[in-house]
Structures are given as structure tokens and as C-alpha cells.
Structure 1
Amino acid sequence: MQKKIAIVVGVFFIGILNIFWLAYDGDVQNIPIVLHRVQKVSQVHIALGKEENSIQVMWTLKEDGKDCWIDMDGKKISNYQKDILEYLGNTGKPYKRFLYSSLLNSLEPATIYSYKISCIVSNITISSQKFSFRSPPSQNSTITAISFADFQTNYYPDPKDKYSKTKKANILPHLYQISKSLDNYDIILHAGDIAYDLWSYNGLMADHFMESIEHLSSRFPYMTVPGSHESFTNFTHYKKLFQPQNSLGLFYSFNLGYAHFIMLDSESFVGRLHTEEMIENHMKFLKEDLETNIQPWTIVISHRPIYCNPNPLCKVCTTACTQYSSILSGYLEDLLFQYNATLWISGNVHLYERSMPVYKNEIMQFGINKFENPPAPIYIVNGVAGNFDTEDDLSSVGDEKMPWNVVASESLGYGKLVVHNKTHLEWIQYAIGKTQQDSPDMIETARTRIIDEFFIIKTDN
């Protein structure tokens, strides 16, 4: 009798622990091994598919799922592809996850769909929560994007690590607010340096980051380019997590509304692993893409900038705004000018900076908040989402800013891009707090304010 009671108590205790783990969002290395086996569908994120009116849904399991499907508004979708992400993390311990993707085709434009992901793992059906997204709008529609770069979500599982000594602020609390309505944005543009870093703590940093942004990435297409921090595993984690089968690649382009987006892999040109072959492939793609583009607005997303202020107190600027920017300019700037690109949006430098229309360091049109038929691109650096490395400093720049520079700020924040129609485009930069050194608690309750806004008007379309 006592043995039976002990078994019942033991089963009950394990059940309580399993419930705890389902709600737990921490370091699995510090959790009893019995909890490691509890499974959940996690890291749900969506992206635009290759085909028009398509969405790619992606998710992660810690153990192999024998069968998965998506329930979307009463329809069961069982077509999916599976991959395994496996490598040694930064401390030499193995990381292994099972990655799944399903392509949803022939969606009605600008229509809200609800979906839930289910998988069978160890003969048990597990499911995600119910999510919703709005399908891509029709071609002749206003689109709104949120744009940022250099973004982490404050996960500190190792108290001995130098990064864990001070909790750092980021824009995550504000992303929660703006993602509550599907009417706010059509797409997310993340210009590299993701999680700081995907492979840190043997991949647990990536797990935490993706689960932290799930409220955003499950609702809006989360479009990315690789940054310098994604190269530490030769882009393995990045490629499999964000660019699985049937997707777009490390560099790609897509149309949305009146805009043509070119997602460049700047690491192919100046990254520590770049090769001549990578440069040639990228240039071939870019030339062909620009030649065939017929959209009125061309917007380039890249991690590394072409234009930013050289600054001796800015850790990254010593090379980013001199050596690397010159290399990128040499390969790309003539093409951008020739094909009348509109914007270049980047990160890498942990500041916000914005130029006037500029070509070869020459201002092509003077202005502050309004530009009409600009003959050259406007360049934006927006690496202020809250990084896990170091903040960059404007104090040594002062009045020595480059002549083409309009705004420079240290404030934490993000950008909003609105392509209203074929004649009007708008950019708004929101700042939170005074600097990136503000306390996370203060940032969480701070109000956003506009520190930069400009319009581009085209009358020659």
C-alpha cells in the first residue's frame, strides 16, 4: 500500500514539475533533468514566401516531432519541411533543435488568418497557442514597416559572464505594445545582429530571443539580413532559423505595396568570412534585380552602413565608417545612384544617424524634413534597438558631424517606414529615454517621442 502511495505521489510531483517547465522561461542547464523532456512548440515566426500572397510559418522543437500540422481557420495543413540545427555552442557544448517550416499559399490579400501549430512528440500531441496574422496587402496598397537593428532581449543565464553584470535596456517592452493590433504594421525589418548572439550559452540565447519576440514574429512577417554577429557559426544558426527550405536566402528581394525591398548581405563584402566568389554572386544578383525592378520605391536593408559619422569614441565607427564603408561604397554606390534607390537602412553602429540625399560624399539635394525627387539615396543608421555589446558615443562628434548628416542620436529607439503610395514615402524615428544607458525599468515605462521625420515626394512617376 505504501508503495502505491509513493508511486502516486511521485507521478503527481513530476506532473507539477512539468507544468512548471511549460511556464518556465529560463536556463535549462539549471533545471532538473526530468524537466528537459517536457516539450512545447516554440520560436514561432513567419516570413513572406517567394510566391505572391504566401506566408512561410516556422517553428522549433527540442525533440523530433513525428508529425506536425497547422490548423488555420478550420483547415488542416499538413505540408511541412523539417531540418536539424546542430552545432557546438560558444562554450563547446552541443546545441540541437528540430526546425519546421510550412508554406501557406494562395492567401487572400490583407486578410486576417488565425492558426495553431500542433506536433506529435513521443506519442503525445503538443500545440502552440493560437496566433493570427494579416496576409500581405495587394500591390497598390499603403504599407507600414517597423525597422531596427542590433537587438537583444536581456537573457543572462551565466552570472560569471561579463555581460550579466548590468542589465541592459532594449525596445522589447514597446514592441509588445505596438504588436497588439494587426493594423499597426505590415512587416518587420531587422537589419542584423540578432540576440547577441544566436549561439551564446550554447544556443540558449537564441531560444530566449525567439520566444521573447514570438508575440511580434508570429503576427508580422519578420524579414532579416545577417549581421556581423551571425557569422560566429558561419551563419549556420541564422540560415537554418530564418532562411529554411523554400525561402529566400542570405540575400534576396521582394515587393510589398509600392515598394521593392532589397535585403543585402553586407558580410559578403566586408565580413570576416567574405570571399571574392561571395562578392561576385552578390553583385550579379544586385545588378539583375535593379534592372528588372519596376516599383517606384527601392529600399535597401543592410547590416553595415555606407554613410555614418567617423568618431574616435565610437567603438565600431573606427572601421565601420571609414574602411568598411569605403569598400561597400566602391562596390555598391554607383548602382544605387544609377537605379535611383530611395533609402539605405542599416545598423552595426549603435547610434541613430540620417543623411540628406548623398552620392560620393557630395550632398545632392539639401533639406531637412522634405525631399522632392531626390537624385540620390538617403542613408539611415538605426542600431539603437538595445544591443548586448556596447553603446556608441556621440560626444566626440559635436559640431564635427559630416556635412550630409541631418540627425545623430544616442537614444534607444526604432524606425517606422510608411510607403503611402507611388508618390509619398515617410520615415519616423522614435526615441525612448535619453540614451541607451538609461535603466531598463525607466525605458519600460518611458514614452516614445519623435526625434526625426521626413517625407520623400516623387512627382516624376
Structure 2
Amino acid sequence: MKSILIFLSLSILVSGEIDKVFHYQPEQVHLSFGDLPNEIVVTWSTQDDPKESIVEFGEESLEQISKSKPIKFVDGGNEKSTQYIHKVTLSNLKPSTRYIYHCGSSLGWSAEFWFVTQPKGTEWSPRLAIFGDMGNENPQSLARLQQDTQRGLYDAIIHVGDFAYDMDSENARVGDEFMRQIESVAAYLPYMVCAGNHEEKYNFSNYRSRFSMPGGTENLMYSFNMGPVHFIGFSTELYYYLNYGIKPLVNQYYWLEKDLEIANQPKNRALRPWIITFGHRPMYCSNDNGDDCSKHNTVVRKGLPLLGSFGLEDLFYKYGVDVMLWAHEHSYERLWPIYDYKMFNGTIEDPYKNPGAPIHLVTGSAGCKEGREPFDKIIPEWSAFHSRDYGYTRMTAYNTTHLYFEQVSDDKNGSIIDSFWINKQKHGSYL
């Protein structure tokens, strides 16, 4: 009997140690751009606190080390869903270089991943995959995005809001599952994001904590450069969840104005002539679901009159934003160049040649448990193309004068159902 008790005690001790190691194991690894062009931020989670956050990396071997400290995250004040999030910045990286890396601590390490840094300067052609509204259930586009990533088709990803459905669900276990699912994409490419309505719970706490966008604004608004493009991410949700106060909305508006003013300065616009914004809820759509973009005036487009407007369409038009990327509607739609419901086609033969107004793309069809969105029976004349197919958008910024977009259909086994070029010889304000 004594030997049996000793065996059981040892089993419990060993079992406890194994459990402890398991909880220190890194998971949900993903990348993002840092504040500087030669920086990459590695983010991951552990269930317990290993007291250190380490990334070992290098070109041929893991000879370089960067460190930080873990941050405790408690979802919605529920101690049962506590985890530790690790954010480590890799600095002074060489351009156009493939690095291998793994992350963790002395108590547990991730698998080995890799990434490729941006070329130096602006004279190269960034390639991106763009989509929104992808859940951990029914993520139709994920498998193809995983294949594309391993084949080296992209330099970055932009996820235009709505993750997991929802990251806070089941004491944040749904968020954990989603972040594990996208690791096979996001551990190899900068995974750039903006907040959607499904991130709202507990003042966007899961979204703020799990991602690591540049700029120190808790991922709500930020910008980054890739080749000839200046990208700006922002939160449309600040217009809809005023229970968290109006100060974040006002701060974002003035932040956007300042960022656009700098980007539109002649020397900067000559260097990076393309300005592309991305936010979750669109200004325009032709969906037949009673949603806000199906109405004539949306608060994102026209602002809130009681607050003195702060609408974004006039601001983006003033500073010559070329393309606005949206999601929220579970469909794909491309608009003709438009401002204030007026079309500004470049020429009859080529509407996207020097178009004279921004071009809107709604790409929210990557797949989630809520399914697809219907369209109006009569499509407005400003809608150039629409589809209910599951899928995602690819973009290539070929140079300072040409952008190329194509829509991949998951329903049609990866076929391209829409494609177009933007040919713009003149850059700057439309005014």
C-alpha cells in the first residue's frame, strides 16, 4: 500500500510539472510592422507567466536575441480567463532579408517560423491580401490564405475588422482558438488589423490587448508605409459606441487629419503617391439588409451633427485618398470613383484613370458563422461590381502610377471573379 501511495504522489508531482510546462508554452504567434521600417513586432500568448518574453532570431541561425516582459490580460474582469501576452520588437533588421525566429522563454519555446523584411526605399511592388469578417467557424478563405502565404504570394495581410465571432466569447476561448487558427498565416506575415463591431465588448479589450499595431494608440488608428503606398488604419466603431465617450472619436479625427496632412505634403506625396485607408463599416454599399451603409447618410461618412460632424468623407476627399477599404457587409463590392453620391469617372474607356475621387472596396466575405449578405434587387449606378461569393481581395502596388486589385472566389475554387487597375498620373487633393 505504501508503494502505491508513493507512486501516486510521484504521478501527481510529475503531472503537475507537465501541466506547468504546458501552460508556459507559446501559442497564437503573429507579426506586425513596428514603428520603424526596419522593425517587426512578434506577439504571442501563454496561459501562465514565465516572467520573460524572448525572441531568438537570425538569418541562418538563432544567434540574435530580443526581450521584453509579459503583460497580464484578464478578459472582462473574469479571472478565469487570465493569460499573458508577450510583445517583443525586433529592431535594426536588414532590408529584403529572410529571418528565422522562435519565441518563448526558458520554460517553453514555439516552433521555428520565418519572415522576409521589406526592401529599402519605395521602388518596389508590395503585395497584400485584404479581407474582413473572418470567424473561427466557417472561415472559408483561411485554407487558401494559408496556401498563398506558404507560397510567398504576399508581403502583408490587412484584416479589416471582425475576428473570431467573438474573441471575448466563452471567457475568451473563442479568441484563443481564432488566434491559433491564423498563426499559420500571421506568424509569417505582418497581420495588420482594425477594430470591427464584433470587437466592442469590454471597451475592445481583446482587440487592444491581442494585437500590436504601430503608433502607441492601442491599435485604434495608425499608419505604415509599404513601397509607394501610405496605409492608414482607423476605427469606424468610435462613431457607434459613444457609451465609451466621444473623446476617442474626436482624437482620432484630428489624428487622421494630421497624418493625412503630412502624407499629402508634396515631397511625401511624390515619394509615396498612393494613400489607402481601411476601416470596418463602409460609407457606401448596395446591400439589402437595412444596415447603416444601405442608408443615404452614414455617421462615418457625414459625421454626427450633434458633435459638429467629424465625418470622414470630406476629410479623405480633401487629402486625395485613393482607395478606401471596408468590410462589415459579408460580400464583395467595388464602386466607381465616388464622392457625395456623385461619380467621378476618369474616362468612359477607363473610369479608373485619374479618377478624380476615391474608389471604395467592400471586402467582408472571408467567412463567418453569420453567413452571407443579400444585395438590393436594383443595384445603384455607382456600384461597378458585386458578388456574394466567399472570398478575399489581392492587391499589388506595382509602382507610383498603377495599382492592381483582384477578387478571389472561394466558391469558385480560387477563380478571379473581378479585377481592375487604377492608373493615376496625378496625385494629391481632389479639390
**Residue 363 of structure 1: aligned partner:** 343
Matched position secondary structure for 1:334: helix
Normalised by the length of structure 2, the TM-score is 0.87
Matches within 5 A, 1:383-394: 383-394=364-375
Give the CA deviation at 1:275.
Answer: 3.5
Q: Distance in 1 between matches of 2:215 and 2:223?
A: 14
Return the match for 1:61 from 35, 38, 46: 46
Contact 1:187 1:222 in 2 (8 A): yes
**Residue 322 of structure 1: aligned partner:** 295
**Residue 231 of structure 1: aligned partner:** 200
Identity value in percent: 28
Matched position secondary structure for 1:106: coil
**Residue 177 of structure 2: aligned partner:** 208
**Residue 284 of structure 1: aligned partner:** 254
1:341 aligns with 2:341: no
**Residue 454 of structure 1: aligned partner:** 420
**Residue 262 of structure 1: aligned partner:** 232
CA displacement, residues 390-433 of structure 1 (integer Å, 9 cap, x when unaligned): 42123xx23x1111001111110000011011011011111111
Give the CA deviation at 1:227.
Answer: 0.5
Return the match for 2:75 from 87, 99, 105: 87
Contact 2:236 2:300 in 1 (8 A): no
Contact 1:93 1:202 in 2 (8 A): no
Contact 1:88 1:94 in 2 (8 A): no
Q: Distance in 1 between matches of 2:14 and 2:118?
A: 44
Give the CA deviation at 1:172.
Answer: 1.3
Q: Distance in 1 between matches of 2:403 and 2:382?
A: 20
Matches within 5 A, 1:34-49: 38-49=23-34
Distance change (3 Å), C-alpha of 1:280 and 1:449: same
1:405 aligns with 2:389: no
Give the CA deviation at 1:273.
Answer: 3.8
Matches within 5 A, 1:9-408: 11=11, 38-73=23-58, 74-88=62-76, 94-120=80-106, 125-138=107-120, 139-154=122-137, 168=138, 170-181=140-151, 183-243=152-212, 247=216, 249-271=219-241, 273=243, 275-293=245-263, 294=268, 295-311=272-288, 314=289, 317-322=290-295, 325-330=298-303, 331-365=311-345, 371-394=352-375, 397-398=376-377, 400-408=378-386
Q: Distance in 1 between matches of 2:213 and 2:3?
A: 50
CA displacement, residues 272-300 of structure 1 (integer Å, 9 cap, x when unaligned): 54643222211111111111102200100
Q: Distance in 2 between matches of 1:368 and 1:257?
A: 29
Q: Distance in 2 between matches of 1:75 and 1:273?
A: 49
Distance change (3 Å), C-alpha of 1:231 and 1:205: same
Residue identity in the other structure for 2:315:
L
Give the CA deviation at 1:356.
Answer: 0.4
Q: Distance in 1 between matches of 2:139 and 2:34?
A: 33
Q: Distance in 1 between matches of 2:405 and 2:349?
A: 12
**Mind listing any 5+ residue stretches in structure 1 that lack a counterpart?**
19-33, 155-167, 434-445
**Residue 307 of structure 2: aligned partner:** none
Contact 1:413 1:429 in 2 (8 A): yes
Give the CA deviation at 1:254.
Answer: 1.2
Normalised by the length of structure 1, the TM-score is 0.82
Distance change (3 Å), C-alpha of 1:382 and 1:81: same
Q: Distance in 1 between matches of 2:214 and 2:351?
A: 42
CA displacement, residues 138-165 of structure 1 (integer Å, 9 cap, x when unaligned): 22211001000001122xxxxxxxxxxx
Contact 1:368 1:454 in 2 (8 A): no
**Mind listing any 5+ residue stretches in structure 2 that lack a counterpart?**
304-310
Residue identity in the other structure for 2:246:
E
CA displacement, residues 115-151 of structure 1 (integer Å, 9 cap, x when unaligned): 011313xxxx211000000112322211001000001
Distance change (3 Å), C-alpha of 1:100 and 1:244: farther
Matched position secondary structure for 1:201: helix
Give the CA deviation at 1:215.
Answer: 1.1
